Structures are given as structure tokens and as C-alpha cells.
Amino acid sequence: MKVAIVGVSGAVGQEFLRVLDERNFPMDELVLFGSSRSAGRVYTFRGKQYTVKELKHNDDFKGIDVAFVSAGGGTSVEFAETITKHGTVMIDNSSAFRMDNDVPLVVPEVNPEDALNRPRGIIANPNCTTIQMVVALKAIEKVSHIKRVHVSTYQAASGAGATAMAELIKQYEQLLKGEEPTVEKFAYQLAYNVIPHVDVFTENGYTKEEMKMYNETRKIMHSDIEVSATCVRVPVMRAHSEATWIETERPISVEEARKAFAEGEGIILQDDPANKDYPMPLFVADKEPVYVGRIRKDISNPNGLTFWTVSDQIKKGAALNAVQIAEYLIKVKNIG
């Protein structure tokens, strides 16, 4: 098994190295790729040093079984053919191909078999907020079809990359010194603030991030589910939170929902509000599962249920989900 990481120097690229090691991913060879700026950097993986190669239009991907790509949508589009032309499976973390009909959009707990049909050799990794939500929704969908979702997200700085995380820390330091905070990665200062604006606004008043949650959820779940989202950036480092209201075809009791979540793949049930036990980003950072709590009936809707989820944006929201896709393909002997 020969593996490549494209964009290894970024926050998700670095997480790929950690996740592959933590999960003891089966591989015989690792090749790291980056921009001309990153080329020549050296990273250690499983006690061995690897030098980053510059990503170029050549035959460097010949013999590589799977490439984990997290270098931005423009790079993914430009190099997709170069990466896949010799049979490499490209698992892409950008939004470039997610809604293409001939590219599967996969969350292994929800629709792993979609990864087997990839005419272009590309599998898209969904948006981090969508991944987290559909893992939870899948558990309930097994009990009763979900017709409608309203969701409000509380998204960490990590969603905008390593430089955004660094900027948040820098802002707090500057403000404590009485200095003007640096504002480059976000529309406004994020420290001591929340910003109801993630990605660019579209003509309908929703942001691209919010529309991703609508479109991607329907594609992943093969469902007519309706999703209305409000995405908010909060001064948290790397775990996203979501408050979710769902409407199902038949009423679901809190007990049924708890049982469904407890049995759901990739989910940890943390729901004991009487003892102040519920998921929080401070404690979920660097963990693999999606944590679910605050489960209750929606008192405004007899067929409604509401709950709270938290998941690590860089792990399950990006690198881990991609690695799990590759693990599934290995398990069913579809690569390697």
C-alpha cells in the first residue's frame, strides 16, 4: 500500500499524519507533496523522515494507491487528472467536486458503499459541519425518516485553517496588552466575539457554508430532507458544535432517540444534564467520535426532536473521515 498526502504542511495535512499513525493505517510507502513553498520541508512519520516533494504535472503518482488531498479547491481541480491518471484513488478534502454527479460524497458511517462507484477516481470528503450532522442524523433516520432539519453551528477557528487558529491566539494576546488586534482571516475580530458569517454570502441570503449543509446532506443521505442552517464562527480552537432541530415522519421519544444515538456508529452519547454532563468543544478537541447530548422533544412540534452535537473539526470533520473512507476501501478489497 503506497500512500500520498497532498498539502501536508497545512492543518489538515498534519492531521493526516497523526491519524494515519494513531489508526495504524496499513502502508508500505508514504510520499508527501506540497507547494513550491513547502517543498523541501522534512516531517517525521513512524520514526522515519520524509521530505516534501513539490506537486507537479508529472508521473509522481504512478504506483500510489491512495492520495489524501487537502491543498485547496484550485489545486484539487488543477491536479485531479495528474493524481488519478495512473489509477490512484484521490480522496479530496476541498469543496471542488462535492456536488459533481460522477464524484461520490462519502461519510463512512452513513454511505460507505457510494465510494465504490467513482468514475473519475475521485471521492469527495464532505464539509466538516455536514459530516458531523449526518453522522447524528443517520442514527435517527434508522428509526423514522427525517423530513426537516434546522441547525445552528458554532464553528471553531480551525475551520479557516492553521493561520486562523494562530490569529485567534494572537488577538487575545494583543487585546490583553491593550493593542489593536490583527484581523486578517475573518471579517471581524473573533476574540470575545461571534461572527454569523462563514464563507461568502449567496443571492438567497444564505452563505455558501449554509448551502453546503443543505445540498451535501441530501446527496450523502440520498434523501429529500430539507435543511436550513445558520453558520456562526465562535472563538474556539478546533471543535465545532451544532444545535439541531429535526422533524421526523412519526414522533420519536427522547428514550428512543437516546437508544438510537447510543447504538449509532461513530457516536458517543453524553446526555446527563442533571449532572451537567453534555458535550463541549473544550473536551472533544482531538477526539474521533461525534458527541451527542441535550436530547429533548421540540416543544413547538409534536414530531420534533432537538439535540446538541460536538466534534473535532480537523479530525472527524476532515482528516479522519478521509482515512476512514480509505479503510473501508481496503476492507472491501477495493484498493491496494
Q: What is the pLDDT of residues 36-70, one digit of tens each?
A: 999 999 999 999 999 999 999 999 999 999 999 99
pTM summary value: 0.96
Average pLDDT over residues 10-32: 96
Query: Using one digit for the tens of pLDDT, what is the confidence trace for 222-247?
Result: 999 999 999 999 999 999 999 999 99
223: three-class secondary structure by DSSP: coil
In eight-state DSSP terms, residue 274 is G
Q: Which residue has the cell 473519475?
A: 120
238 is in an annotated binding site: no
Q: Which residues of 258-291 are buried (b: 16+ CB within 10 A; e: fewer)?
A: bebbeebebbbbbbeeeeeebbbbeebbebbbbb
Q: Which candidate in 57, 145, 231, 240 is catalytic?
A: 240
Compute the residue count for the chain.
Answer: 336
40 is in an annotated binding site: no
Q: Which pLDDT score, from 0 to 100, does residue 335 have?
A: 87
Give the chain's mean pLDDT. 97
pLDDT at 336 over 80: no
Q: Which candidate in 128, 145, 197, 222 is catalytic?
A: 128
Told to judge if 128 belongs to the known catalytic residues of this protein, a careful annotator would answer yes
94 is in an annotated binding site: no
Query: Using one digit for the tens of pLDDT, what is the confidence trace for 260-291?
Result: 999 999 999 999 999 999 999 999 999 999 99
49 is in an annotated binding site: no
Q: Which residues of 236-250 are buried (b: 16+ CB within 10 A; e: fewer)?
A: bbbbbbbebbbbbee
189 is in an annotated binding site: no
Query: Using one digit for the tens of pLDDT, what is the confidence trace for 71-91?
Result: 999 999 999 999 999 999 999
Q: What angle do CA 313, 316, 321 make, to 5 degrees?
A: 130
pLDDT at 312 over 80: yes
What does the block give as the cell for 217? 446532506
Told to judge if 145 belongs to the known catalytic residues of this protein, a careful annotator would answer no
Do 80 and 120 contact (CB within 8 A), yes or no? Answer: yes
